[in-house]
Amino acid sequence: MKPDDAQVNWVEEPKLGLTGKMYLPLIFSGLAVTTKHLFGPKMTVSFPEQRPEIGNPLIYRGVHRLNKDEQGRVKCVACFLCATACPAHCIDIIAAPSPWPDRDKYCESFTIDELRCIFCGMCEEACPVDAVELTSLFDLTGRSREEMIFDKEKLLSVYDMTKDAEPMKSRVMGASP
Amino acid sequence: MGTVLVDGIEVPVADNERLNGIQAAERAGIDIPHYCWHAGLSVVASCRMCLVEQGTKDPATGKITMIPKVVPACQTPAKDGTVFITNSDKVKQCRAQVEEALLIDHPIDCPICDKAGECRLQDYYFEHGQPERRADIRPFHSPKREMGDTVTLFVDRCVMCTRCVRFTREITGTSELMVTNRGSHEEIDVFPGFPLANKMSGNVVDLCPVGALGDKDFMYQQRVWFMKSHDGICTGCSTGCNIEVEENQDRVYRLKPRENAQVNQWWMCDEGRYGYHHVHAEDRQVGPRRREGDKYVNIEWNTVTAEMKAKLTAAGRIGAVISPHLTIEEAYLLIKYVRSIDPAAVLALGPVPVIGTDERFPNGFTIHAEKAPNRRGIEMLLAHFGGKVLSFVDFQKELDAKTLRAVWVSAGYKKSDWNDETTARKFAGLDVLVVQDLFSSPLWNMATYQLPGGSFAEREGSYVNFQDRLQTAKFAIRPPVGAWVEGQLYWRLLERPGLYQSRKVLTEAAAEVTALHLALGGVPPTGLDLRANQLAGEKKEAATV
């Protein structure tokens, strides 16, 4: 940015008037705003007793889940596209030949480091089989770093936990299953 | 001398050169897409991807007459006056149509295909294909089958370029692969009961322009775009094939041949290709140790320099066994080191494993029985420094004389079978026995100092192959924690500042050792033929006599 850039709009600091210099009137006008909000509608929620409402779960980016197909098998085909797209390098996959005849490859291990994840949703975008999705669960906690590295079983259990409340996004959005 | 015109660019072609359209265009910097043509194989012109417009220029009038139809560039000789047009609308349309035809029954399972990222079909689709799929045919699915112990065929991905079939017929001469059925039912297959089982079978995977042939060793291990490729030299035998070591985060995932017309052309053998697993073996030694009584205690690498100097100086008479797995630079530094402590140190060549006999394939590619990469190089150094080349057996006789008080043994073999209890016992009774190796062996278990060394993927330096060609390899990965590559250790032992610089050492060695003089001017990527130097030397000697 150059000082003579035409797109830069330089604003001078406004000069303080008499009320400003006297200090107290501004204090009172500030307190008036505070008092007004004391009686107005509440903007905050009392978490965790009260849960905030998620506007649209379809576009919310919370904890990941690994989707299962109709037969309860993991949908992931271990193509590594999520790991490739991930800007935080938090996805680690080990691929193996699949035990099922209709597929060549599946993920033997699939781990996401939830602490390293920046919840950008790129993995979800990259996935060609809609296997990895972000749910609207946002309050994930753990007692150790190891606990926050979610493995395949844990990610599949997130699917079991959320599948009723949040059906697979691809189906909701009208894509083929 | 003739001139070929490619898209208006004049390409000079020598009279004795037999180039085709693709090669002529390459000289002009133009890439003609192709699947079936390969410089090392015969021409079939079956994929039709390299279709171009061709004509001739009349040398007298300068008038260009074009052929009305398109021709395959791979089958069209580029001779004086030949004109190629590779960027016309007609050519572009041909390429798009070929690409469309190939993709009609391609499964497009790129996400799970190991070739994705280095696949011709993918690349050419983006470059020459058309965005829309017009045919309403569902791609057929055919299960994968085993071609042999090393290769799996994904039948539905094949584009029938027949490169693999021609490879087994022309290069290995084993003819295991064939085309079965005709027309759109064509498939690559092996004859029943005769699997793909030659010693160069891995090459068909590199040859395959799509993901039809998969390497079982590499299958599903890593996506290709994660790996970095480093120029290396295969250390499996004395052929010294040029290779690419592909790694990701200090783990080698595969080796691929690198083109060098003088040595390995485009190929490498399976033994070399799959011979990298020892690099990441579980039982690889890490951490330097010193013997105290019957036990070994861990020591710090930082203290090794001072400790070695004191112990070796105290011992007085030193012998050094220089392994044929060391690079020229490393061997040179080791010799310098032992000679700096004992100027009359005895130098010997380490054991050179010989397994079976040389195997020669019909195209001239040879797998040598001598399973070490640098015997010739070490011999050159020993001839210069030691006067004569002492073999490992001769060195053991030297040990029997009991004059040596300290011995430095460098190794770095892929297995620990290079010495046995009988050999190891000859080394008993020494004041200091330093063994540098990758794995535990009888000799290793007798050592006063156990110094874990580097493998071929971690070394940097030059090897001299069976035909006296000096070739330089770069390091691909860092050694495991606790192991030091020989070059770095010797560099430190000689109390040189900073990190080991192979280029500097090679120049130094070349300036000192006559046989390596040619390396003073640098080593070209395809290697340096040292025989030229020897011939010149012989001539000079003859002239003076």
Q: How many CA atoms lie within 13 A of A103 on its CB side?
A: 20
pLDDT at B316: 87
pLDDT at B104: 87
Are B356 and B512 a contacting pair, CB within 8 Å? Answer: no
Residue A96 with chain B: CB contacts under 8 Å: 220
Buried b (16+ CB within 10 A) or exposed e, B62-85: eeeeeeeebbbbbebebbebbbbb
pLDDT at B307: 93
What are residue B184's phi and psi, to 5 degrees?
-75, -5
Closest of B170, B163, B240 to residue B207, by C-alpha = B163
A33-42's contacts with Cβ under 8 Å and 24+ in sequence apart are none
For chain A, say whether B226 makes contact (Cβ under 8 Å).
Answer: yes
Residue B127 belongs to a domain: no
Q: Say if residue B50 is in the same domain as residue B173.
A: no
Q: Say if residue B293 is in the same domain as residue B361.
A: yes
Asked if B225's CB is within 8 angstroms of A105's CB, the reply is no
Closest of B174, B183, B181 to residue B204, by C-alpha = B174
For chain A, say whether B221 makes contact (Cβ under 8 Å).
Answer: yes
Residue A103 with chain B: CB contacts under 8 Å: 112
Give the Cα separation of B260 and A99 in Å (integer). Answer: 41
Q: Say if residue B309 is in the same domain as residue B458.
A: yes
Residue B142 belongs to a domain: yes
Q: Say if residue B315 is in the same domain as residue B207.
A: no
Q: Say if residue B265 is in the same domain as residue B294.
A: no
Give the Cα separation of B528 and B471 in Å (integer). Answer: 6
For chain A, say whether B67 makes contact (Cβ under 8 Å).
Answer: no
pLDDT at B544: 46
Residue B159 belongs to a domain: yes
pLDDT at B253: 96
The two three-digit tokens of residue B19, written as one number: 């180039």
User: Could you give the 3-state DSSP secondary structure of residue A133?
Assistant: strand
Asked if A79's CB is within 8 angstroms of B220's CB, the reply is no
User: Could you give the 3-state DSSP secondary structure of residue B315?
Assistant: helix
A101: closest chain B residue by CA: B143
Residue to test with chain B: of A75, A76, A77, A79, most B Cβ within 10 A: A79
Are B178 and B227 a contacting pair, CB within 8 Å? Answer: no
Residue B220 with chain A: CB contacts under 8 Å: 78, 95-97, 105
pLDDT at B534: 62
Q: Which residue range(s) make up the domain with B159?
A: 110-115+134-276
The partner residues of B9 in beta bridges, in order of sequence, read B6
Distance from CA of B111 to the nearest CA of A (A): 5
The two three-digit tokens of residue A127, written as one number: 């996935």
Give the Cα separation of B155 and B92 in Å (integer). Answer: 29
For chain A, say whether B138 makes contact (Cβ under 8 Å).
Answer: no
Closest of B41, B457, B108 to residue B281, by C-alpha = B457
For chain B, say whether A77 makes contact (Cβ under 8 Å).
Answer: yes
Distance from CA of B144 to the nearest CA of A (A): 9
Give the Cα separation of B483 and B474 in Å (integer). Answer: 18
Residue to test with chain A: of B115, B223, B224, most A Cβ within 10 A: B223
Indicate left, alpha or beta for B527 from its phi (over 0: left) and psi (-120 to 50: alpha): left
Residue B109 with chain A: CB contacts under 8 Å: 104
Q: Residue B194 maps to which CATH number?
A: 3.30.70.20
The partner residues of B470 in beta bridges, in order of sequence, read B464, B528
Give the Cα separation of B257 and B255 in Å (integer). Answer: 7
Asked if B225's CB is within 8 angstroms of A128's CB, the reply is no
pLDDT grade for A174, boundaries at 50, 70 and 90: low
Q: Say if residue B419 is in the same domain as residue B339.
A: yes
B144: closest chain A residue by CA: A104
Q: Say if residue B316 is in the same domain as residue B458.
A: yes
Give the Cα separation of A133 and B455 in Å (integer). Answer: 43
Domain final residue, candidates B276, B301, B317? B276
B514-517's contacts with Cβ under 8 Å and 24+ in sequence apart are B514/B384, B515/B380, B515/B383, B515/B384, B516/B328, B516/B380, B516/B470
What are residue B90's phi and psi, to 5 degrees?
-60, -45
With a CB cutoff of 8 Å and minimum separation 6, the contacts of B52 are B21, B25, B32, B70, B71, B72, B73, B76, B84, B85, B86, B91
Query: pLDDT of A48-87, one tens digit each?
Result: 899 888 888 888 999 999 999 999 999 999 999 999 999 9
Judged by CB atoms within 8 Å, which residues 81-110 of A form the interface with B?
81, 84, 95-97, 101, 103-105
Residue to test with chain A: of B220, B223, B251, B253, most A Cβ within 10 A: B220
- Fill in the DSSP letter of residue B77: B
CATH, range A64-170: 3.30.70.3270
Query: pLDDT of B34-52, one tens digit each?
Result: 999 999 999 999 999 999 9
Residue B144 with chain A: CB contacts under 8 Å: 104
Q: Where are the alpha helices (DSSP H) in B82-191?
A: 89-104, 120-128, 163-170
pLDDT at B545: 41
Q: Say if residue B247 is in the same domain as residue B222.
A: yes
For chain B, say whether A128 makes contact (Cβ under 8 Å).
Answer: yes
Query: pLDDT of B316-333, one tens digit each?
Result: 899 999 999 999 999 999
Residue B231 identity? D
Indicate left, alpha or beta for A24 from its phi (over 0: left) and psi (-120 to 50: alpha): alpha
Give the Cα separation of B91 and B101 in Å (integer). Answer: 15
The residue behind tokens 């390293």 is A116
Q: Say if residue B271 is in the same domain as residue B296.
A: no
Are B367 and B271 a contacting pair, CB within 8 Å? Answer: yes
Q: Say if residue B37 is in the same domain as residue B155.
A: no
Q: Which of B154, B221, B225 sits opposite A84 (nearest CB)?
A: B225
For chain A, say whether B143 makes contact (Cβ under 8 Å).
Answer: yes
Asked if A95's CB is within 8 angstroms of B111's CB, the reply is no
Residue B182 belongs to a domain: yes
Residue A84 with chain B: CB contacts under 8 Å: 223, 225-226
3-class DSSP string for B462-519: EEECCCCEEEEECCCCCCCCCCCCHHHHHHHHCCCCCCCCHHHHHHHHHHHCHHHHHH
Give the Cα separation of B341 and B360 in Å (integer). Answer: 45
The partner residues of B293 in beta bridges, in order of sequence, read none
Residue A105 with chain B: CB contacts under 8 Å: 112, 220
Asked if A77's CB is within 8 angstroms of B219's CB, the reply is no
Q: Give the CA radius of gyration of chain B.
A: 28
Q: Which of A96, A97, A128 sits opposite B111 (nearest CB)?
A: A128
Distance from CA of B189 to the nearest CA of A (A): 19
Are B148 and B195 a contacting pair, CB within 8 Å? Answer: yes
A79-84's contacts with Cβ under 8 Å and 24+ in sequence apart are A79/A105, A79/A128, A79/A129, A79/B111, A79/B112, A79/B223, A80/B223, A80/B226, A81/A126, A81/A127, A81/A128, A81/B111, A82/A122, A82/A123, A82/A124, A82/A126, A82/A127, A82/A132, A83/A123, A84/A126, A84/B223, A84/B225, A84/B226
A76: closest chain B residue by CA: B112
Distance from CA of B220 to the nearest CA of A (A): 6
Cα(first)–Cα(last) distance of chain A, in Å? 49
Are B154 and B125 a contacting pair, CB within 8 Å? Answer: no
For chain A, say whether B520 makes contact (Cβ under 8 Å).
Answer: no
Give the Cα separation of B361 and B174 in Å (integer). Answer: 10
What total of structural domains would you count in chain B?
A: 3
Q: Which residues of chain B have pLDDT under 70?
A: 139-140, 533-545
With a CB cutoff of 8 Å and minimum separation 6, the contacts of B331 are B322, B374, B377, B378, B381, B410
B225: closest chain A residue by CA: A84
Q: Which of B112, B219, B226 sits opposite A79 (nearest CB)?
A: B112
Q: Residue B6 maps to which CATH number?
A: 3.10.20.740
- How large is the ipTM? 0.82
Residue B112 with chain A: CB contacts under 8 Å: 77-79, 103-105
Give the Cα separation of B57 and B492 in Å (integer). Answer: 65
By CB atoms closer than 10 A (0-12, 13-18, 19+), residue B423 is middle
The partner residues of B472 in beta bridges, in order of sequence, read B462
Residue B219 with chain A: CB contacts under 8 Å: 97
Asked if A129's CB is within 8 angstroms of B220's CB, the reply is no
pLDDT at B143: 81
Residue B121 belongs to a domain: no
Kindly provide the residue ranges of all beta strands, DSSP E only, lying in B337-412, ordered along the sequence. Answer: 346-349, 359-360, 366-367, 406-410
Are B181 and B86 a contacting pair, CB within 8 Å? Answer: no
Q: Say if residue B185 is in the same domain as residue B155.
A: yes
Q: Which of B144, B225, B226 sits opposite A104 (nearest CB)?
A: B144
Q: What angle do CA A112, A113, A117 make, to 5 degrees?
A: 95
Asked if A97's CB is within 8 angstroms of B112's CB, the reply is no
Give the Cα separation of A6 and A121 in Å (integer). Answer: 37
Q: Where are the alpha helices (DSSP H) in chain A?
A: 18-22, 24-39, 81-85, 122-126, 152-162, 169-172
Asked if A96's CB is within 8 angstroms of B220's CB, the reply is yes
For chain B, say whether A79 makes contact (Cβ under 8 Å).
Answer: yes
Q: How many CA atoms lie within 13 A of A54 on its CB side?
A: 14
Residue A97 with chain B: CB contacts under 8 Å: 219-220
Give the Cα separation of B518 and B449 in Å (integer). Answer: 37
